[in-house]
A and B are shown apart, each in its own frame.
Chain A
């Protein structure tokens, strides 16, 4: 095994071009587990810890450019206003020690359907900025996940930033697990209201081969909110709309039975999370004072 330690982003791209099998390592919270357990013996490890730009973020007018190695702790502490869904998701990641190392770039690189950040990215709307010596491109988040632990990256590409739309309305995120820390999601759900475009986006985690959006549920809700004039009036969501939204979200899931839970349970839980999050976010949109705290949604 060789340990490659590029000092700059350009050096990292050159190394990845020369050694396409090199495994990038930043926080190490996935890669080191695989090495420790002898599940993986990469020929090359490509250490990204020295590259300062990957640890930086920039809040622009409409988007946050989040460096791939910005840690979950930093997201929770610094980007709660701009990226409330992702901040909530970050809070459900493992433990403080893991959140101090891991970041969204690793979640995307690993592309596990259970990655905690995916539903929040799908709901908020995001693009993944990837780069190689050949140039850079922006991959829409909806096109990024291509299969179980597979993504749209080419062998010579590295993830540089994730450009996430700044919240223009309330966002929520929930994760089902057997305890509040150190769990891989049984399933997870993220919801973002986008009052500017009068639309709603969702994300489902751990309940399909890849992270997905519940598009039918979104379309139903967008139409129902539009037809009922809900965005203008800010009136209470009717229980039948909430129920139908939950049922459609549940139907969008395509889960399997595994050690963490059954497919049936996952489908059920996704529907419940969707329905509740719709009510929570909508109440927040309406500006009612009894909106629940954004904390502790795990």
Chain B
């Protein structure tokens, strides 16, 4: 079957989708967006976390057919999503009849080539990252990196809903994201750092 949906602010269509296929499979294998990671395939690890109509979900547990006409943000579009949110007060594209008139979104090619260079703290060079991505780099919250995309999407959603989370809030929000390197302390540091920077910016 064919599935039409919005990915990172742009309309996409996936063809020859098997009816039992997960959204995660469609993103990785049909749209060439391998940022969302495939690990447990049972919702235990959170490494496939994406935003579905703004809500963080495990994409391995969403049937492809269920996203028809809906809006998905993956880690590849997270920086742009966060930027749009900052500029327009909401994430994602707002060119499609939205009151904002802003033109957001990331093309598939852009998304496929997206890489986290990060802003060099001395020169300020590099691609723009969302606050949470930069904080993960600065806090050393990335080890093998496999859990990172899911954590970024989930942590970004936490900070969107709760600008100054307590440690308890952070732990609970990230309780569905496993890090096999066990680098949780640095991950907590990164979320605290991003929250603190957000607070300063306001």
A interface residues with partner B (beta carbon < 8 Å): 1-3, 5, 25, 27-29, 31-33, 35-37, 41-42, 45, 47, 49, 94-98, 100-101, 180-182
Residue B55, interface by CB 8 Å: yes
Say whether B43 contacts A97, CB under 8 Å. yes
Scoring A2, A28, A97 by chain B CB atoms within 10 A of each residue's CB, the highest score goes to: A97
Q: Which residues of B sit under 8 angstroms from A96, Cβ to Cβ?
A: 56, 154, 172-173, 175-176
Contact string against A for B residues 5-44, beta-carbon threshold 8 Å, 1 for contact and 0 otherwise: 0000000000000111010000000000000000001111
Say whether B66 contacts A47, CB under 8 Å. yes
Say whether B19 contacts A2, CB under 8 Å. yes
Say whether A36 contacts B176, CB under 8 Å. no
Residue B63, interface by CB 8 Å: yes
Q: Which residues of B sit under 8 angstroms from A100, Cβ to Cβ?
A: 55-57
Query: Can you report 20 A-B residue pairs in the complex whose CB atoms are below 8 A from each other?
Result: A5-B68, A25-B66, A29-B61, A32-B22, A33-B41, A33-B42, A35-B22, A36-B22, A41-B20, A94-B176, A95-B46, A95-B176, A96-B154, A96-B172, A96-B173, A96-B175, A98-B176, A100-B56, A181-B172, A181-B175
Say whether A28 contacts B175, CB under 8 Å. no
Scoring B18, B57, B60, B172 by chain A CB atoms within 10 A of each residue's CB, the highest score goes to: B57
Say whether B61 contacts A3, CB under 8 Å. no
Q: Which residues of B sit under 8 angstroms from A27, Cβ to Cβ?
A: 61
Say whether A97 contacts B154, CB under 8 Å. yes
Q: A37-B42, A45-B19 are in contact. Are A97 and B56 (CB under 8 A)?
A: yes
Say whether B63 contacts A33, CB under 8 Å. no
Q: Which residues of B sit under 8 angstroms from A49, Cβ to Cβ?
A: 66
Q: A5-B68, A98-B176, A180-B175 are in contact. Are A28 and B61 (CB under 8 A)?
A: yes
- 20 new A-B contacts, CB < 8 A, other than A25-B63, A45-B63, A47-B63, are A3-B1, A3-B63, A27-B61, A28-B61, A29-B58, A31-B63, A32-B22, A32-B60, A33-B61, A35-B22, A37-B41, A37-B42, A96-B56, A96-B154, A97-B46, A97-B56, A97-B57, A97-B154, A181-B172, A181-B175
Say whether B62 contacts A95, CB under 8 Å. no
Smallest beta-carbon distance A22→chain B, Å: 12
Say whether B63 contacts A97, CB under 8 Å. no
Q: Which residues of A sit under 8 angstroms from B175, Cβ to Cβ?
A: 95-96, 180-182
Residue B49, interface by CB 8 Å: yes
Cα distance, A263 to B56, chains bound together (Å): 37
Smallest beta-carbon distance B34→chain A, Å: 17
Q: Which residues of B sit under 8 angstroms from A47, Cβ to Cβ?
A: 63, 65-66
Say whether B42 contacts A35, CB under 8 Å. no
Q: Which residues of A sit under 8 angstroms from B42, Cβ to Cβ?
A: 33, 36-37
Say whether B65 contacts A181, CB under 8 Å. no
Q: Which residues of A sit under 8 angstroms from B68, Cβ to Cβ?
A: 5
Say whether A32 contacts B57, CB under 8 Å. no
Scoring A47, A95, A98, A182 by chain B CB atoms within 10 A of each residue's CB, the highest score goes to: A95
Smallest beta-carbon distance B11→chain A, Å: 19
Cα distance, A98 to B46, chains bound together (Å): 9
Cα distance, A116 to B43, chains bound together (Å): 16
Q: Which residues of A sit under 8 angstroms from B22, Cβ to Cβ?
A: 32, 35-36
The residue that B63 contacts in the complex, of A32, A94, A182, with Cβ under 8 A, is: A32
Scoring B1, B43, B49, B154 by chain A CB atoms within 10 A of each residue's CB, the highest score goes to: B43
List of 8 A-B pairs having minimum Cβ-Cβ separation, nearest first: A95-B176, A181-B175, A3-B19, A1-B19, A3-B65, A36-B41, A32-B61, A33-B42
Smallest beta-carbon distance B58→chain A, Å: 5
Q: Which residues of B sit under 8 angstroms from A36, Cβ to Cβ?
A: 22, 41-42, 60
Smallest beta-carbon distance B31→chain A, Å: 18
Cα distance, A1 to B46, chains bound together (Å): 27
Smallest beta-carbon distance A38→chain B, Å: 9
Q: Which residues of A sit under 8 angstroms from B177, Cβ to Cβ?
A: 95
Closest to A91 in B: B172
Say whether B154 contacts A28, CB under 8 Å. no
Say whether A33 contacts B43, CB under 8 Å. yes
Smallest beta-carbon distance B68→chain A, Å: 7
